[in-house]
Structure 1
Amino acid sequence: MNSFTFKGLLAGIVLACAFGQGASAAEISGVKLDDTVKVAGKELKLNGYGMRQKFVAKVYVASLYLPEKSKSFAEILKMDGPRRVTIVLMRDLTSDEFGDAFMNGLSRNVDNVEKAKIIPQISKFGEMFALLQVLKKGDVLHMDWIPGTGTQCEFNGKKIGEVVPDLLFYNAILRIWMGDHPVDSSLKTALLSGK
């Protein structure tokens, strides 16, 4: 076995371990996805997953977990109960690169009136990205909506940043991938189609 193959195998094992426990429902580029996860004591189902690509480069794997599966983004926005978006990095990024992509995604999908309502929350999220400095291939970011608490993020198993209480903010985050102008239209289809 040459060193390239061995390194690839090792990276896949590390990603699988980092991604979580439970029955694996699917796999994409060596990233294993759990069929269900628990958020705030509730079991969520894998709704869909896909690869964010920029030109030909793989950037990250995104997955969406919901109380009940849905192919309707409008329905997802109105759902009760917790929700989770998980990002697994497929290459190294600086916090500036990740933060800029996040802000661009928000700007393209949230109008100025709505954005004005969530400026303080956006600022808190920006501070969180600044704490990360560098994101490495294999890093795992969970963005959870917890009813009665707010948006809570976890990076490689550790809670990071402040809790952001407004559901409007979490729904704005979801629009980055599933709004009218998603960062990647094929990823939007994958997250909503159960693929």
Structure 2
Amino acid sequence: MKKLLSLLTLIIALQFNTATAQQQFIVNGVEIPRTLEFKGKTMSLNGVGQRSKFWTELYVQALYLTILSEDAKEILDSNTEMAISLHITSGLISSKKLSKALAKGMEKSVGEDGIQKFSKELEELEVLLSTEETKTGDVFELTFNPLDESLWITKNKDYKGKIKGYEFKKAFYGIWLSDNPVDKGLKEDLLGKY
């Protein structure tokens, strides 16, 4: 009888946990999904944080991986599906400012010499981010596809285009995950080191 009661308690607890497991949660008023789907693959939320500058919250960012990790180098070197989502929370972010900030972040990550070899890709990125004006509430997903070694860009779930290059992907994700990221606190958050 004791075993049966324990088993029933376990089954009820599992059902309760499954029924109440959140599919998303709220960060600074932004709904962050626990998973993202890409080409039949499920990526899970590795970490989430927000980027602020001069006491202004600019965006909430989430990192999704197929294999969760706290090792930034391992993530940058990985040739598996991964995504960064940027949830714009400030009206100060325009398409032009966003692409300039990403270029500056890459330069900080790879250095002045390193950034030169990505000038073509950065021009492509600026064009893809500028197909329409960026406003508060917009969500960008920047997903690495290992099958064609390219970074796919979507805005509010609309595909905008892709930029080829595994090395570009490493430099791009390095904006937040390199040894010299734009925000060390955000890096820790994305790595799940709360």
Indicate the TM-score class for this superposition, using the shorter chain for normalisation.
0.7 to 0.9
The answer to whether the Cα contact below 8 Å between 1:23 and 1:36 also exists between their aligned partners in 2 is no
The answer to whether the Cα contact below 8 Å between 2:77 and 2:170 also exists between their aligned partners in 1 is no
Residue 131 of structure 1 pairs with residue 131 of structure 2: yes
Residue 103 of structure 1 pairs with residue 130 of structure 2: no
Q: Which 10-residue stretch deviates more, 115-124 or 70-79?
A: 115-124
- Cα deviation for residue 80 of structure 1 reads 3.2
The answer to whether the Cα contact below 8 Å between 1:118 and 1:169 also exists between their aligned partners in 2 is yes
- Cα deviation for residue 39 of structure 1 reads 1.3
Letter in 2 for 1:103: A
2-structure distance, mates of 1:24, 1:128: 30
Q: Superposition pairs for residues 9-158 of structure 1, below 5 Å?
A: 23-92=22-91, 93-132=93-132, 134-149=133-148, 150-158=150-158
1-structure distance, mates of 2:70, 2:124: 30
* TM-score, normalised by the number of residues in structure 1: 0.81
- Cα deviation for residue 23 of structure 1 reads 4.6
Letter in 2 for 1:99: S
Q: Which has the larger radius of gyration?
A: 2
Which sections of structure 1, spanning at least 5 residues, go unmatched? 1-21
Letter in 2 for 1:118: F
Greater than 3 Å deviation, 4+ residue runs: 111-114
The answer to whether the Cα contact below 8 Å between 1:118 and 1:168 also exists between their aligned partners in 2 is no
Which sections of structure 2, spanning at least 5 residues, go unmatched? 1-20
* TM-score, normalised by the number of residues in structure 2: 0.82
1-structure distance, mates of 2:94, 2:177: 24
The answer to whether the Cα contact below 8 Å between 2:85 and 2:141 also exists between their aligned partners in 1 is yes
Q: Which 10-residue stretch deviates more, 32-41 or 42-51?
A: 32-41
For the residue of structure 2 that corresponds to 1:135, the secondary structure is: coil
Q: How many residues are treated as equivalent by the alignment? A: 172
Q: Which 10-residue stretch deviates more, 57-66 or 95-104?
A: 95-104
The answer to whether the Cα contact below 8 Å between 1:39 and 1:83 also exists between their aligned partners in 2 is no
1:81-110 deviation per Cα after TM superposition (whole angstroms, max 9, x unaligned): 211000000012222211111111011111
- Cα deviation for residue 48 of structure 1 reads 0.2
